[in-house]
Structure 1
Amino acid sequence: MPAPIEDYALLSDCRTAALVSAAGSIDWLCLPRYDSPSVFGALLGDDAHGSWSLRPTDPSATSERRYDGDTFILVTRWTTESGVAEVHDFLAYDDHRHDLVRRVIGVRGDVEFESALRLRFDYARALPWVRQIGSPVQPALLAIAGPDALVARGPLHTADGQAHIARWPVGADEAVDSTLTWAPSYREVPDPVDVEGAWERTREWWTDWAGSLSHVGPHHTLVIRSLLVLRALTHRDTGGIVAAATTSLPEQVGGARNWDYRYVWLRDAALTIQAYAAHGLLAAAAQWREWLLRAIAGDPGDIQIMYGVAGERDLPERELSSLPGYDGAAPVRVGNGAVSQWQADVIGEVMVALDAARRAGLAESQFSWALQLQLLAQAAATVDEPDQGIWEIRGEPRMFTHSRVMMWAAFDRGVRAADELGLEGDVELWRGLRDRLRDEIDARGVGADGFFVQHPDTTEVDAALLQLPLVGFCAADDPRMLRTVERIERTLMPDGFVRRYRTASGVDGLAGDENPFVACSFWLVQQYAGSGRHADAAGLMATTCAAANDLGLLSEEYDPVSRHQLGNTPQALSHLALVGAADALAV
């Protein structure tokens, strides 16, 4: 059985990510990209589905962990009856290689370690052929299955059933390195990695990137870590920003709401760009804009709400029988059926993000305004179509109020760009559609009791309505917003955290329930701050930040009763919402 979700630490080389449990087991790793098939899949099953455990043989050993400064080099200090030692884990930052490094360093006394390596390729559907290729001085294992090869170097691992085991002692000031290197199986076996050089290069890169961040205000440490997480989920070659590092971690224990988040949602990526722009990271914003230009090139009518890491369009959803699911939560899914949905809010989020980046100092490129003209053309062509909305419902499409507001925001940003910067386009069309949408929302998006509703055919509210002031549709202290907040507090906050909507309403067309969505609580912090409820904002911020694990990582959802994280992790939307909430408190 895998560890609790909050027990996992993230490693990243900005191409892929690994999850390491507090017990020293790497239970999730996909190579060579975030969305590649797993080579360690125990997170969605058990050790038989792939893992790499590295810990002292002393069963009474205890551990504590931290990141090495503003990096994703994980330092786990183990204390045993015989001594103290540390394990330094990282994915090496390198332009040409894919190396996972686990360095054991003795601190005091002597500590015996055991490494248990279980390699399972292709989501545990392929047991690789493994053979020794090293020498007695430099032991190495070569594992091959289909297109993938992994080379394990370090202490001698010998076969034990379907695992490979090694044991060795480490004394004070001694260092023992273990590495795992991925390469295509049809290439030559890669040379050993220079561990010392890789450590220095990786530490320097993360430290330099963090040093470029600008932030002054409360919750500084969590804000910096959140921005680092967003960078860790941004592919450094393509610029694509994945929504999370994992697939199929359940929104409810034992439930079926299990989705693959290892892709680029235009919405989540656009919101990440707003966070980047607000904190001086214009180069990252520019890289994503170039990714966007490539991804949606062609007919604006073909725009999707999500893409692969490099802009791939074909992401069919399918179920895997090879992985039983996290703590039995099935099915395990790869791909995502939402790729074929129409979510009308997406164009608005992208236009708002590009407007924010422009105002932060990102100049228009040769093609960037042409890209926005295409987005506005698609918004105009679909302005009267119902959609599946921000929460990707699998029920009947609706005229969701949040989606209508985000379409309003798209046309509003187009009008602003023309009026304030002289950029050319069909301004009168945009102005007319913007004004028509406002009239419609004012008339149909507000219920008889004076609060914004999820859609015109219901009296339910939706946490996405908390974004209305954030895009300038209304003020945070607008009476309709204040009444909406009252309704959210009454119906969506039974335990102090904000749920997305009432699943019992049946709007999403799915069975089962879910837990509070972390980002929604941070949105309410922003709303509280904007409407003058500063004590409530600070209190909810503290409560929601406490849902982060000891390393400052947040998943998609949180169960306040069991105090466990749920859903895919780490979740970009949770972290960027934390940044926005902290910024609101700093005003």
Structure 2
Amino acid sequence: MTRQDRRYPSIADYAFISDCHCTALVSRNGSIDWCCMPRPDSDSCFGRILDWDHGGYCAIAPTTADVSTSRRYIPESMIVETCFRSTAGEVKVVDFFVMDKRAEEQAPNRLVRMIEGIRGELEILSEIVPRFDFGQIIPAVSEQGDGTWMAIGSNQGLVLHSDLPLEIVKHFGLRAAVSIKRGQKKSFIFSFLPPDQADRVPPQPNVTEVAMAGYRSTVSWWRDWVQRMHPPYKLDEATKRSAMVLKALTFERTGAIIAAPTTSLPEWIGAGRNWDYRYSWVRDSVFTVYTLNGLGYADEAERFLQFIQRSSAGSAEQLQIMYAVDGKRRLTEVELPWLEGYRRSQPVRIGNFAAKQHQLDVYGEILELASIWNAAGNEVDLRYWEFLTDVVNGACRHWAEPDYGIWEFRGEPRHHVHSKAMCWRAVKQGIAIAEGCGLPAPLDDWQSTCDQIRQAIDSQGYDRESGTFVQAFGNTHLDSSLLLLPRIGFVEYDDPRMLRTVDAICMKLNRGGLLLRYDSPDGLPGKEGSFIPCTFWLVSCLAYQGRLKEAWEYYRLAARCSNDLGLFSEEYDASSATMLGNFPQGLTHISQIRARLALEGNGDLLRHGISKNDKTL
């Protein structure tokens, strides 16, 4: 790694904060290097995680290098506390987005940074360097008086209230160096404001008092949310943290759920596999919904169900596999060549080409969501049933076609086994809902299609020579998505074919105790790290097969891939103990929860992703 690359903290050095509207990453060194306001898919206002020189940041750190640093989340919250200690003194910095009842009423989003002296005296340097349009725009910064500053450029505006003596530095931003003594408190409060509303910014007296009130309401909000978990067992801290991360990835206004709050953190340094994950994948969102639903959170299922119906205009033919958080369908993928990328890993991309891909598993995900909804005692009304019928019929029409699969391959489409099994699941669940609710449906036709899909997978998706399921018809490659077949009820966990498939995946896709996604060419340059969710999928399979010793061994290896705050990335390089990919990754946290519950013998609520009372399998 070059000296230039070392300027970038490791991905593991970041903490994640959110108010279910905006997102930010805070480094161990006290710098916000990624922040998107007022939405998680907005252009960044601080973004030097993707270009250290031009991306912008907000740093609070001691001026002396002789300091030690520690950090934590305030228990049962998404509030980050970073402590800086030296022989001269100790200061803590607390970072959070304000959460209160108004968050559900679309109150102005407020990013708060509080500085407090704990011991002695320590000089702290604060630098606010906003950059808009992903680093292309150096905004004009002006002082409004009464501790208020504005940064304006392009179609973005950032308001800052602070009780620190900030100085405007031309072509840079704002800066202040102050000594913080024991008991002294200073604060920053940031909010997004469109430039055309700049003349409406009211002064904010008593900034630190307002920040402290926001802190109290945010602690209360998160703890109230955590205490609503009502599983019949005590969750360990890692699993509770994963649940909070999933909640923090939701977009409150619409019910959308993003895959991750970042774009273009590389799956391998310099390999070009850099994608924008700040959107709502139907697949990942449904995984999130049935995981949170199993932990006692039903609201997220209802909100996302409504989001999908709105975004697809109630038509199966207009379904796509992901949407923007406001339901927008056009997510045109473009590259930003002026950004050097994390550790010079170009290209930096926004938008996602995969939004227009043909991925057949989406039909199964929609019916999974309907099953969660129905099993919770909600009525499937005729309007919703018309939509679901359309989705099932779509699965019946298209199941025999090739697609790009769960991994969104960018080469030629294939007949992926997982995709076809999800079509089977869609039809099977459609039959169950129709029969259970007395709803009209072409049941004979649907059952015939179910039988055809099963026959096709059994004959073409299973390699008799090796005795295992395969990635796609016509090849013998293995794929970790096959570990999901028992979860949807296509095959029992202890079926000999599944036992052999699990053993083969353990043998051929294992890299240092972590699984790759597949062993086939994927049409992309370079390589990638191990995909952490797949290892947790393996843990669940092994646990349900009664192989608990092996399951715990793999679980411990995967759990070590989190950082000190319990956050997981998408991928991991076991050889260098390095996080890779977008961060934090919702799918990894989902899979950790499911694996842990399976190991503890409490996985029944999540085993098939539906209510324990469901009798359709």
SS at match of 1:85: strand
SS at match of 2:54: helix
Deviation for aligned residue 1:362: 4.3
Deviation for aligned residue 1:548: 0.7
Q: Does 87-96 or 569-578 show the bigger shift? A: 87-96
**What one-letter code is carried by the residue in structure 2 that aligns with 1:244?**
A
Counterparts of 1:578 and 1:357, CA distance in 2: 23
| Residue 158 (1) aligns with residue 167 (2) | yes
Counterparts of 2:420 and 2:121, CA distance in 1: 64
**What one-letter code is carried by the residue in structure 2 that aligns with 1:65?**
R
Contact 2:125 2:175 in 1 (8 A): yes
Contact 1:273 1:357 in 2 (8 A): no
SS at match of 2:224: helix
Deviation for aligned residue 1:477: 1.2
Counterparts of 1:380 and 1:272, CA distance in 2: 26
Q: In the alignment, which residue of structure 2 is the partner of 1:9? A: 15
Deviation for aligned residue 1:363: 4.2
Contact 2:321 2:362 in 1 (8 A): yes
Deviations 1:440-496 (CA, angstroms, capped at 9, x unpaired): 111111012210000121111100000000110111111111111121112100311
**What one-letter code is carried by the residue in structure 2 that aligns with 1:129?**
A
Deviation for aligned residue 1:335: 0.2
Counterparts of 1:364 and 1:92, CA distance in 2: 36
**Alignment of structure 1 residues 300-339 onto 2, 5 Å:** 300-339=316-355
Counterparts of 1:159 and 1:340, CA distance in 2: 45
Counterparts of 2:201 and 2:221, CA distance in 1: 23
Counterparts of 2:189 and 2:234, CA distance in 1: 39
Distance change in 2, residues 1:7/1:361 (3 Å):
farther
Deviation for aligned residue 1:499: 0.6
Deviation for aligned residue 1:322: 2.6
| Residue 473 (1) aligns with residue 487 (2) | no
Deviations 1:271-302 (CA, angstroms, capped at 9, x unpaired): 11110111111111111111111111144212
**What one-letter code is carried by the residue in structure 1 that aligns with 2:496?**
P
Contact 1:215 1:279 in 2 (8 A): yes
Q: In the alignment, which residue of structure 2 is the partner of 1:116? A: 127
Deviations 1:150-207 (CA, angstroms, capped at 9, x unpaired): 1222212223452421011222122111122211111134333622222122221111
Contact 1:373 1:425 in 2 (8 A): yes
Counterparts of 1:363 and 1:298, CA distance in 2: 17
Deviations 1:341-399 (CA, angstroms, capped at 9, x unpaired): 00001211221233134324444356433332221122122122110000000011011
Deviation for aligned residue 1:99: 1.4
Contact 1:73 1:89 in 2 (8 A): yes
Counterparts of 1:341 and 1:305, CA distance in 2: 7
Deviation for aligned residue 1:109: 1.0
Q: In the alignment, which residue of structure 2 is the partner of 1:183? A: 193
Deviations 1:204-234 (CA, angstroms, capped at 9, x unpaired): 1111111111345586111111111111010
Q: In the alignment, which residue of structure 1 is the partner of 2:368? A: 352
Counterparts of 1:400 and 1:423, CA distance in 2: 31
Deviation for aligned residue 1:260: 0.3
Counterparts of 2:579 and 2:252, CA distance in 1: 28
Counterparts of 2:339 and 2:232, CA distance in 1: 44
Q: In the alignment, which residue of structure 2 is the partner of 1:86? A: 92
Q: In the alignment, which residue of structure 1 is the partner of 2:4? A: none
Counterparts of 2:249 and 2:212, CA distance in 1: 25
Deviation for aligned residue 1:52: 0.6
Q: In the alignment, which residue of structure 1 is the partner of 2:394? A: 378
RMSD: 1.5
Q: Does 155-164 or 201-210 show the bigger shift? A: 155-164
Counterparts of 1:536 and 1:356, CA distance in 2: 31
List structure 1 runs of 4+ shifted beyond 6 angstroms.
none
Contact 1:47 1:118 in 2 (8 A): no
SS at match of 2:193: strand
Residue in structure 2 matching 1:143, options 145, 151, 174: 151
Q: Does 330-339 or 90-99 show the bigger shift? A: 90-99
Distance change in 2, residues 1:80/1:366 (3 Å):
farther
Counterparts of 2:391 and 2:47, CA distance in 1: 38
Contact 1:556 1:569 in 2 (8 A): yes
Q: Does 354-363 or 465-474 show the bigger shift? A: 354-363
**Alignment of structure 1 residues 151-550 onto 2, 5 Å:** 151-154=159-162, 155-160=164-169, 162-187=172-197, 188-191=199-202, 192=204, 194-215=210-231, 220-364=236-380, 367-447=383-463, 448-502=465-519, 505-506=520-521, 508-550=522-564
Distance change in 2, residues 1:7/1:365 (3 Å):
farther
Counterparts of 2:523 and 2:383, CA distance in 1: 40
Counterparts of 1:237 and 1:574, CA distance in 2: 24
Aligned residues: 581
Q: In the alignment, which residue of structure 2 is the partner of 1:61? A: 67
**What one-letter code is carried by the residue in structure 2 that aligns with 1:162?**
F
Counterparts of 2:391 and 2:317, CA distance in 1: 9
Contact 2:97 2:112 in 1 (8 A): yes
Counterparts of 2:592 and 2:481, CA distance in 1: 15
**What one-letter code is carried by the residue in structure 2 that aligns with 1:335?**
G
Contact 1:218 1:585 in 2 (8 A): no
Contact 1:2 1:27 in 2 (8 A): no
Tell me the percent identity: 38
Counterparts of 1:218 and 1:554, CA distance in 2: 22
Counterparts of 1:384 and 1:11, CA distance in 2: 43
Contact 1:278 1:360 in 2 (8 A): no
**What one-letter code is carried by the residue in structure 1 that aligns with 2:437?**
L
Question: Structure 2: any 5+ residue segments left out of the alignment?
Answer: 1-6, 602-617
Distance change in 2, residues 1:219/1:500 (3 Å):
farther
Structure 2 length as normaliser, TM-score? 0.92
Deviation for aligned residue 1:2: 2.1
Contact 1:52 1:115 in 2 (8 A): yes
